[in-house]
Amino acid sequence: MRRVLITAGASGIGREMARAFAAEGALVFVVDLDAKGLSALAQEIPGVQTAICDMSRRADIERMVPAAVAALGGLDVLVNNAGIAGPTAPVEETDPDAWDQVLQVNLSGTFHVTRLAIPHLKKSPAGSIIVLSSVAGRFGYPNRCAYAATKWGLIGFTKTLARELGPFGIRANAIAPGAVEGPRIDRVFEGRAERSGRTPEEEKQAHLGLQSLPRLVDPRDIAALAVFLASDAGKSISGQVLPIDNDTQQAS
Ligand SMILES: NC(=O)c1ccc[n+]([C@@H]2O[C@H](COP(=O)([O-])OP(=O)(O)OC[C@H]3O[C@@H](n4cnc5c(N)ncnc54)[C@H](O)[C@@H]3O)[C@@H](O)[C@H]2O)c1
C-alpha cells in the first residue's frame, strides 16, 4: 500500500489527489492551513489522516513531516502541491512583502518538506516526488512575476531532485497545469480584469483563445496524472515536466 503525503490538500487539486490516491488504496496524509477543509476531507474519505500545517512556516513543516511519516508508517510518495497565487501587478508595482510570501510558500515550503522527506523516501522501494508547477513555469506570465518565478524555480528544483535521487530509486517529476476549473482560476480572471478594464468573462475567453482545446482543465485529470506518475507504470519517468493544459500557447 503506497503511503502518500499531500501538502495543501484540503481543497482544489490537492483534494482531488487525496481522493484519487485513496481510491487506488493508498494510505493518504493531507496537510493544510484550513482546519474546516481538513475535517470535511477526513469525513469524506475514510482513513485519510490530516494535520494543520502552514507551509510558509519552517517550524510547522519541521514538526509536520516526522509526524506524518510516523502516522503513515513510512513514505513512498510526496506531492508538493502547496502554492499560492500571489499578487496581480507589474514587477515595479509588486509589493516586496507579497513577493517574499509567495517565495516562502511555493519555493521554500517545497524545499523544507522535501529535504525532510528524502531520508524516508530513500527507505521506500518506489519513492516518488511530484511537484506542482504551472503553465506559468513554461512561459512568461505578465503581472504575476512572483508566481511565475517560483513555478520556473520548482522545475529547476524537480530536475535537480531527479538527478540527485535517481541513484536511490526515487523519481521526481513536475506537473504543469494550465487554467483549472474552480474558484482559484475565477480569482485569477478577476485579478486580470481589475487591471485590464475587461470583464472576468472576457479575460476567461481571452485565455481560452490561447488553447487548442477551449475549456478549463478538470482537476480530476491532474489527480489521475499524479496517481499514474507515482505508480509502477510511471517507473521509467523522472526529471520531466508534464503539461496538462489543453495545449496552452504563450500570448503574443
Ligand atoms: N488552479 C489552477 O488553475 C492552477 C494552475 C496551475 C498550477 N496550479 C498549482 O496547483 C497547486 C494547487 O492549486 P489549487 O488551485 O488547487 O490551490 P487552491 O488555491 O485551491 O488552494 C489549495 C489549498 O492551499 C491551502 N493553502 C494556502 N496557503 C497555505 C499555506 N501557507 N499552508 C498550507 N496550506 C495552504 C488552502 O487552504 C487550500 O486548501 C498550486 O501549487 C498551484 O500553483 C494551480
One domain, residues 153 and 88: yes
- Res. 252 pLDDT band, cuts 50 70 90: low
CA 199 to ligand 1 center in whole angstroms: 24
Q: Determine the atom of ligand 1 nearest the C-alpha atom of 177.
A: 6
What residue ranges line ligand 1, CB within 6 angstroms? 8, 10-14, 32-34, 37, 53-56, 81-84, 105, 132, 134, 177, 179-180, 182, 184-185
Q: Is residue 52 part of a domain?
A: yes
Average pLDDT, rounded, for the chain: 97
Rounded-to-integer distance, Cα 108 and Cα 113, Å: 9
Query: Cβ distance 152 to 176 under 8 Å?
Result: no
Question: In this structure, are 75 and 192 located in the same domain?
Answer: no
Q: What is the pLDDT of residues 141-169, one digit of tens each?
A: 999 999 999 999 999 999 999 999 999 99
Residue entry with cell 477551449: 214
| 97 and 191 both lie in a single domain | no
The CATH code of the domain that includes 49 is: 3.40.50.720
Q: Whose CA is nearest to atom 9 of ligand 1?
A: 132
> What confidence tens digit (pLDDT) does each residue in 204-249 have?
999 999 999 999 999 999 999 999 999 999 999 999 999 999 999 9
Q: What total of structural domains would you count in the chain? A: 2
- 208: containing domain: 181-216
pLDDT of residue 183: 86
| DSSP assignment of 60-98 | HHHHHHHHHHHHHTS-SEEEE--------B-GGGS-HHH
Beta bridge partners of 195: none
| pTM of the entire predicted model | 0.97
Q: What 8-state DSSP symbol labels residue 251?
A: -
| CA 117 to ligand 1 centroid distance, Å | 20
Q: How far away, in angstroms, is 151 Cα from ligand 1 center?
A: 12
Q: Which of 147, 152, 157, 189 is catalytic?
A: 147
Task: Report yes or no on 250 lying in a domain.
Answer: no
Examine the domain organization and report whether 100 and 198 are in the same domain: no
Task: Let me know how long the chain is.
Answer: 252
Q: Which of 246, 247, 188, 240 is nearest to 12 (CA)?
A: 188
Same domain, 114 and 170: yes
In a domain, 249, yes or no: no
105 & 211 share domain: no
Residues 90 and 199 in one domain: no
- CA gap 75, 109 in Å, rounded: 18
Q: What is residue 11's predicted lDDT score, i.e. its pLDDT?
A: 97
CA distances from 99 to 36, 89, 94, 147 (A): 27, 11, 7, 8
In a domain, 187, yes or no: yes
147 is catalytic: yes
- Shared domain for 123 and 187, answered yes or no, is no
Q: How far is the CA of 28 from the centre of ligand 1 (A)?
A: 18
Q: Does residue 252 fall inside a structural domain?
A: no
